[in-house]
Amino acid sequence: MEEQQAEASTPSSKARPRLTSQQLAIERQKQGLLLSRQRVLQQLEAAQNPNHRKMLENALADLDSQIALLSSPPQPH
C-alpha cells in the first residue's frame, strides 16, 4: 500500500507538459464553458415551454461555438 502511494506521489514520465499561463487560462475558460453546457443540457431536458427550450437551444449552440474556438489551434496572422 505504501509503495503504491509513493508511486502515485512521484512525477511520472507520462505527466503533461507544463502549460503557459495563457494555455492555463484557455483551459480554465474551456472548463467553465463545458460546465455551463452541462447545466444548459440539464435545463433543456426539463424544459416544457417551447420559448424556453428555444432559448436554451440557442445558448447551447453559442456555448458549442465558443468551445470549438478554444479547442481549435491558433491561426497564424
Give residue-wise pLDDT tens across range 9-42: 555 556 667 888 998 999 999 999 999 999 999 9
Whether this prediction's pTM lies above 0.85 is answered by: no
What pLDDT, on a 0 to 100 scale, did the predictor assign at position 19? Answer: 81
Give residue 62's pLDDT.
98
**What is the distance in angstroms between the CA of the first residue and the CA of the last residue of the chain?**
53
Q: CA-CA distances (angstroms) from residue 42 to 2, 45, 56, 67?
A: 41, 5, 10, 18
